[in-house]
């Protein structure tokens, strides 16, 4: 059987263009029909909106990078056919850490009949991002533990496991029960840009040192600009969601000890999702913050109940993720009867970009090396040089005076010695 691997000269990896929208929608629809992970289905649904986002994204790409940190999509093209795509996004304000959101391959294409061919196309997409996004120093991704093909692809490209993640779902019945509890959080405050240092400290404390180094977050990562607020509002409107966030302030230590960001679904098309961060020394906040989120979800559902008779809104669960370095969180979810629906692996790799030398090292001569050490112009005299010249001239004058004094003292001593001798006339002559 002959391999149908496309030639590297014929395969092109390039940024997304507007003419690729139809091919991407067909590719996403195919993958959604085969996908079993609800987390990836949500990402694919966002990719389906790339046509409506294209014009706005082109406009935002013209702004300075400090205003907007969005995602990028690159496609693998063989002649006129789109064989696959990769979606990546930056995770911090300095763009030192990037995340691979999704790698999709067109399995219906005749050029991708072999599994080996699919791995090669996926590797080329990954290598293109690793080589062309120069800001990235660390890359991250999350893959389902049952996706053996994707695991093999990422391992072949240098990704190593960091942590095991578990996605939990709290059913609607359990949400109603938790909403009846009193969370008793008197210091629960809304979030603003002024609270960014507190949230940054909480984020650093809640993660192990290795993950903290990989994420490489700063205080600016917990602030939102006007452009980011506008983009998030547009996304909320398109996705049909409500976002509520808050944190628990500890007045004695002047620190934030708990935080959550709740994204509740309006139309019932997706489960409610929450991002939860708790200081490891305050694990007793898990039941209180979970009850607080359950109350917010239940109140939203009660408001919708008075406006419409859609019962589908009441069947959406609440999804929260936990890591293997958070045993107290997993123990609490097991205790209340939450269901683990997916297990993923968090992976990362580092990147060192090689800088090409202007000249080969073998051809360098010693004269060429010393040529760069020569001054390009005459040195400008400074205060120190003037002081040195003055001190040297003064030392010369003092040295000359000392020599003159020594000579004069020698002459005086010789005269005194000659004057002390008795005069003796010559033997012959007149007296």
- Please report the pLDDT score of residue 380 as a whole number: 61
Of the candidates 1, 3, 22, 10, the residue with the CA atom closest to the CA atom of residue 106: 22
Most confident of 65-79, 99-113, 337-351, 407-421: 337-351
Task: Say whether pLDDT at 33 is over 80.
Answer: no
Identify the residue whose tokens are 């683990």: 340
Percent of the chain with pLDDT over 70: 65
Domains, in order of start, for the chain: 11-158 (3.40.630.30), 165-350 (3.40.630)
pTM over 0.85: no
Q: Does 103 score more than 70 pLDDT?
A: yes
314 or 46, higher pLDDT? 46
* pLDDT at 351 (0 to 100): 87
pLDDT value of position 381: 57
The pLDDT of residue 369 is: 55
Furthest-apart CA atoms within the chain: distance in Å:
161
Region class of 365: left (phi > 0), else alpha (psi between -120 and 50), else beta: beta
Provide the β-strand partners of residue 88.
72, 100
Which of 219-233, 355-369, 372-386 shows the highest mean pLDDT? 219-233
- The pLDDT, as a whole number, for residue 47 is 62
Residue pair 329/286 in contact by the 8 Å Cβ criterion? yes
Say what the pLDDT of residue 423 is.
Answer: 47
Q: What DSSP string describes 55-98?
A: HHHHHHTTS-TTT---EEEEEEEETTEEEEEEEEEE-STT--EE
Highest mean pLDDT among 57-61, 104-108, 194-198, 405-409: 194-198
Q: Tell me the per-residue pLDDT of 152-176, one tens digit each, with 9 for 90 and over.
A: 999 999 999 999 999 999 998 999 9
pLDDT computed for residue 429 by the predictor: 44
Q: Is the pLDDT of residue 292 over 60?
A: yes
Length of the chain: 431
pLDDT tens digit sequence for 339-365: 999 999 999 999 875 555 555 555 556
């Amino acid at each position: 059987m002959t391999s149908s691997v496309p030639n590297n000269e014929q395969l092109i990896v390039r940024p997304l263009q507007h003419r690729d929208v139809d091919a991407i929608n067909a590719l996403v629809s195919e993958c959604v029909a085969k996908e079993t992970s609800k987390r990836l289905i949500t990402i694919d649904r966002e990719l389906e909106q790339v046509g409506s986002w294209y014009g706005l994204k082109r406009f935002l790409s013209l702004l300075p990078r400090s205003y907007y940190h969005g995602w990028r999509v690159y496609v693998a093209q063989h002649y006129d056919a789109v064989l696959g795509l990769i979606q990546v996004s930056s995770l911090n304000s300095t763009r030192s850490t990037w995340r691979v959101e999704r790698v999709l391959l067109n399995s219906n294409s005749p050029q991708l009949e072999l599994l080996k061919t699919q791995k090669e196309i996926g590797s080329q997409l990954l290598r293109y991002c690793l080589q062309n996004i120069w800001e990235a120093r660390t890359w991250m991704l999350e893959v389902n533990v049952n996706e053996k093909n994707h695991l093999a692809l990422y391992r072949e490209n240098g990704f190593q496991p960091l942590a095991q993640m578990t996605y939990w779902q709290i059913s609607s019945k359990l949400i109603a029960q938790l909403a009846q509890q009193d969370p008793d959080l008197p210091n629960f405050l809304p979030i603003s840009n002024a609270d960014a240092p507190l949230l940054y400290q909480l984020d650093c404390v809640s993660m192990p040192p290795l993950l903290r180094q990989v994420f490489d977050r700063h205080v600016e990562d917990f602030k939102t600009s006007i452009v980011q607020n506008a983009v998030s509002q547009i996304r909320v409107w398109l996705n049909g969601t409500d976002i509520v966030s808050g944190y628990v302030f500890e007045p004695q230590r002047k620190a934030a000890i708990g935080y959550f960001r709740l994204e509740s679904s309006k139309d019932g098309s997706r489960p409610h999702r929450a991002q939860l961060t708790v200081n490891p020394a305050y694990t007793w906040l898990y039941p209180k913050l979970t009850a607080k989120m359950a109350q917010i979800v239940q109140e939203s559902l009660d408001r919708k109940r008075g406006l419409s008779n859609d019962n589908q809104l009441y069947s959406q669960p609440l999804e929260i993720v936990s890591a293997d370095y958070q045993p107290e969180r997993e123990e609490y979810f097991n205790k209340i009867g939450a269901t683990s629906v997916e297990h993923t692996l968090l992976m990362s790799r580092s990147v060192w970009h090689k800088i090409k030398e202007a000249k080969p090292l073998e051809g360098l001569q010693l004269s060429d090396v010393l040529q760069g050490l020569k001054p390009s112009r005459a040195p400008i005299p400074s205060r120190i040089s003037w002081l040195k010249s003055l001190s040297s001239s003064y030392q010369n004058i003092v040295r000359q005076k000392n020599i003159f004094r020594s000579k004069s003292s020698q002459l005086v001593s010789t005269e005194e010695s000659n004057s002390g001798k008795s005069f003796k006339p010559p033997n012959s002559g007149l007296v």
